[in-house]
């Protein structure tokens, strides 16, 4: 039984040309994610090797006597901190604001020496926070006109681009990517001659097995060029394309490729997330969509996994963006391909879907990063699928609502290729490449990161969702027809933040299970067991401490899972500092609120995860799914 495309509605009075050329060309990227913590971004424990610190900025933990503490007493406490950490402090601590002081090193530190110094300072129970005093530079920003004019608002800082902007400028100061990196786009193929993609394409492969669907006169071959995927009225009248929507060519694969890695800082067109990576085009779709068997073969081939009858991929990708899905739960064919790609070290990034409903395949498959869509104001779009198993939210454009859209490279041809140009689109298809691009930048900073480690850091660094009282709160049980305020339960950990993700790329990811509001007298579980080390290392040290709130005793404070009894109503902030087997450290905090209650309270916490929940094989649909069309859902 064919799976049909889902169209975003045409606005009243909207020109048909826009509806066809823009709205109908939006192809859905679906996906699922490792569920994770929405805890606030911790201070980075390590820095890229190129950075040098002249000292450490230390804020001491308050004590009962600290309110009346003299300057000399503070200096003595700081001297003790420096001595305990083995630091050769060069001079008297310099005040930084009202609460912190700069401890200058005798000589600048970098790399592992700096990491070790920071770790030792943070382990001191007198220290509330510590961060390196590094030289700040002007942010790296591209000169591409679509970016510099503000059209690519979604790449900017939230202060410049709006609440949903993914905060790339400070991330670009850390890395703009590497020419050796490969990101695969499993989609409709490539416009190899687009000038704003010059030098960015690898040869790729065409895995479309059906000649009529391929629309290029043959089946699988080494030419990944996109000939166009239009469906004419005559096509739709045939048995081959019965039920297909009449529509012009989408150039969808090229659009996504440009989002990830368009030629950047070249004074032309648009900027990509990763300025230097190469794109591997894996063509799996043509007229009216793609066959499931071609999609799963495309995922495997992109990751460097052997595919029968197809030459080996000489350029395996460590990040794979996939643009297809269906209406059923994850099936064995999809899950098997994703498992193979993950085992090969590749992260599969997909979109949450445009159904305004629970995630479906491959969004509910294990091991993928599912990306939902928000508007510029950070509210969930009316079309984005939802659920606690969404991996991250990113800009996807407003759809039929008012607001700025997402721009990338495209083509004016309605049938075959015409003039190369730029276009605007909306949908979760176009939110996913933003996360894929950020994942590739993280790998540039730390090539040893595994797919799971990348997901954990993207989720830990997520920014909190904004709230607009004029809109309802999103609901899993009763879908909201329009835009709505996200929660962790409906939209996952938070908003994609490129800078935060790159800051965490070289440090452990400290994942703390969120704690719901509890009643006074409750015993609360503090769970940091989902924290992960770097490059396959394990977490070997945990330290729970109280940051603020009435003094309480933390039980098992040196374990991954601790507990604490909250004696009265109030708010407490607890910090978890972890150390991995490679000697790297990082911290994160969790806030717990207790309220007065007549009844007895009990501890409660949100869910964490290392995989998607609600996954099912759907065996009853499996045989049908193998022969079903995987229709690209228009609108992303």
DSSP state letters, 565-613: E--SSEEEEEEEEEEETTS-EEEEEEEEEEE--SSPP---B----SS-S
Residue 44 has pLDDT above 70, yes or no: no
Residue 26: predicted pLDDT: 31
d(CA 349, CA 443): 14
pTM of the model: 0.75
* Least-confidence region, from 209-218, 349-358, 609-618: 609-618
User: Catalytic residue among 115, 133, 144, 187, which?
Assistant: 187
Q: Look-up: residue for tokens 């490792």? A: 34
Residue 315 has pLDDT above 80, yes or no: yes
Q: Residue 628 region, left (φ>0) first, then alpha (ψ -120 to 50), else beta?
A: beta
- Condensed to tens digits (0 to 9), the pLDDT of residues 12-25 reads 333 333 333 333 22
User: Catalytic residue among 429, 507, 531, 543, which?
Assistant: 429
Residue 535: predicted pLDDT: 67
d(CA 612, CA 359): 10
Beta-bridge partner residues of 283: 187, 206
Cβ atoms 279, 260 nearer than 8 A: yes
Residue 107: predicted pLDDT: 86
Higher-pLDDT residue of 608, 436 = 436
Residue 43 corresponds to which tokens in the numbers above? 């201070």
Calculate the dihedral angle through the C-alpha atoms of 198, 201, 202, 204, rounding to the nearest 10 degrees. Answer: -140
Which domains does the chain show, CATH number per domain? 16-40+141-502+616-630 (3.40.50.200), 52-134 (3.30.70.260), 512-595 (2.60.40.10)
| Residue 46 binned pLDDT confidence (cut-offs 50, 70, 90) | very low
Active-site residue 252, yes or no? yes
Residue 546 corresponds to which tokens in the numbers above? 């109280």
Residue 62: predicted pLDDT: 77
User: Catalytic residue among 154, 252, 519, 531, which?
Assistant: 252
Beta-carbon contacts of residue 210 (< 8 Å; ≥ 6 apart): 219, 286, 291
Residue 387: predicted pLDDT: 96
**What's the gap between Cα 139 and its chain centre?**
21
Q: What is the mean pLDDT of the chain?
A: 85
Beta-carbon contacts of residue 484 (< 8 Å; ≥ 6 apart): 379, 380, 471, 472, 473, 474, 475, 490
For residue 328, how many other CB atoms are within 10 A of its CB? 19
Nearest residue to 303 (alpha-carbon basis) of 286, 326, 322: 322
Beta-carbon contacts of residue 234 (< 8 Å; ≥ 6 apart): none
| Residue 607 binned pLDDT confidence (cut-offs 50, 70, 90) | very low
Share of the chain above pLDDT 70, in %: 83
Residue 632 has pLDDT above 70, yes or no: no
Q: Residue 75 region, left (φ>0) first, then alpha (ψ -120 to 50), else beta?
A: alpha
d(CA 51, CA 174): 9
For residue 150, how many other CB atoms are within 10 A of its CB? 11
Active-site residue 426, yes or no? no
Cβ atoms 431, 218 nearer than 8 A: no
- Condensed to tens digits (0 to 9), the pLDDT of residues 519-578 reads 999 999 999 998 988 766 889 999 999 999 999 999 999 999 999 999 999 999 999 999
Beta-carbon contacts of residue 381 (< 8 Å; ≥ 6 apart): 373, 374, 375, 396, 397, 398, 399, 401, 426, 483
Calculate Rg over the CA atoms of the chain.
25
Active-site residue 137, yes or no? no
Cβ atoms 183, 279 nearer than 8 A: yes
Cβ atoms 459, 37 nearer than 8 A: yes
Residue 30 has pLDDT above 80, yes or no: no
b/e string for 348-366 if b means 16 or more Cβ within 10 A?
A: bbbbbbbbbebbbbbbbbb
Nearest residue to 129 (alpha-carbon basis) of 87, 101, 97: 101
| Residue 90 binned pLDDT confidence (cut-offs 50, 70, 90) | low
Strands of 257-412, DSSP E = 278-283, 290-291, 319-322, 347-351, 368-374, 392-395, 406-411
Beta-bridge partner residues of 386: 358
For residue 538, how many other CB atoms are within 10 A of its CB? 11
Give the mean pLDDT of 411-429: 98
């Amino acid at each position: 039984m064919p799976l049909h495309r889902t169209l975003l509605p045409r606005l009243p009075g909207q020109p048909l040309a826009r509806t066809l050329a823009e709205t109908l060309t939006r192809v859905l990227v679906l996906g699922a994610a490792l569920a994770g913590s929405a805890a606030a971004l911790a201070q980075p424990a390590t820095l890229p090797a190129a950075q040098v610190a002249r000292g450490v900025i230390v804020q001491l933990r308050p004590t009962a006597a600290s309110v009346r503490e003299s300057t000399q007493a503070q200096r003595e406490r700081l001297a003790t901190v420096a001595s305990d950490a083995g630091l050769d402090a060069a001079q008297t601590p310099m005040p930084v604001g009202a609460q912190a002081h700069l401890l200058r090193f005798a000589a600048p530190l970098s790399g592992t020496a700096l990491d070790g110094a920071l770790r030792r300072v943070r382990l001191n129970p007198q220290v509330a926070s510590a961060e390196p005093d590094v030289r700040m530079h002007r942010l790296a920003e591209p000169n591409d006109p679509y970016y510099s004019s503000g059209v690519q608002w979604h790449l900017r800082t939230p202060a410049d681009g709006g609440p949903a902007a993914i905060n790339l400028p400070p991330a670009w100061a850390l890395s703009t990517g590497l020419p050796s990196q490969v990101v695969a786009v499993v989609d409709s193929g490539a416009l190899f001659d687009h000038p704003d993609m010059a030098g960015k394409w690898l040869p790729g492969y065409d895995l479309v097995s059906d000649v009529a669907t391929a629309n290029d006169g043959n089946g699988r071959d080494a030419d990944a060029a996109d000939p166009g995927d239009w469906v004419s009225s005559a096509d739709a009248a045939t048995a081959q394309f019965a039920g297909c929507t009449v529509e012009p060519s989408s150039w969808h694969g090229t659009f996504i490729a440009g989002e990830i890695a368009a030629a950047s800082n070249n004074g032309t067109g648009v900027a990509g997330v990763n300025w230097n990576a190469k794109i591997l085009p894996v063509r799996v779709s043509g007229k009216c969509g793609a066959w499931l068997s071609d999609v799963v073969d495309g995922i495997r081939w992109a990751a460097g996994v052997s595919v029968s009858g197809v030459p080996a991929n000489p350029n395996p990708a460590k990040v794979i963006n996939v643009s297809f899905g269906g209406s059923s739960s994850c099936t064995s064919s999809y899950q098997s391909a994703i498992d193979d790609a993950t085992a090969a070290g590749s992260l599969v990034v997909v979109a949450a879907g445009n159904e305004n409903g629970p995630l479906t395949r491959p969004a509910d498959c294990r091991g993928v990063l599912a990306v939902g869509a928000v508007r510029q104001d950070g509210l969930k779009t009316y079309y984005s699928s939802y659920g606690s198993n969404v991996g991250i939210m990113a800009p996807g454009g407003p759809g039929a609502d008012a607001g700025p859209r997402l721009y990338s490279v495209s083509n004016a041809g309605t049938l075959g290729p015409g003039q190369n140009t730029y276009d605007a689109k909306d949908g979760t298809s176009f939110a996913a490449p933003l996360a894929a691009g950020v994942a590739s930048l993280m790998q540039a900073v730390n090539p040893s990161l595994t797919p799971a480690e990348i997901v954990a850091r993207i989720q830990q660094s997520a920014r909190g969702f904004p709230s607009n009282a004029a809109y309802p709160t999103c609901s899993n049980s009763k879908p909201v027809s329009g835009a709505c305020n996200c929660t962790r339960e409906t939209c996952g950990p938070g908003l994609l933040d490129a800078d935060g993700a790159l800051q965490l790329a070289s440090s452990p990811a400290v994942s703390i299970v969120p704690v719901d509001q509890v009643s006074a007298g409750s015993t609360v579980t503090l769970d940091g067991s989902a924290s992960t080390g770097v490059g396959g290392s394990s977490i070997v040290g945990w330290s729970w401490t109280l940051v603020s709130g009435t003094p309480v005793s933390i039980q098992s404070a040196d374990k991954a899972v601790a507990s604490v009894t909250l004696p009265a109503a109030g708010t407490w902030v607890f910090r978890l500092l972890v150390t991995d087997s490679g000697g790297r450290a990082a911290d994160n905090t969790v806030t717990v609120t207790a309220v007065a209650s007549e009844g007895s309270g009990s501890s409660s916490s949100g869910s964490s995860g290392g995989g998607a929940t609600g996954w099912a094989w759907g065996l009853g649909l499996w045989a049908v799914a193998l022969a079903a069309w995987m229709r690209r859902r228009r609108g992303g």
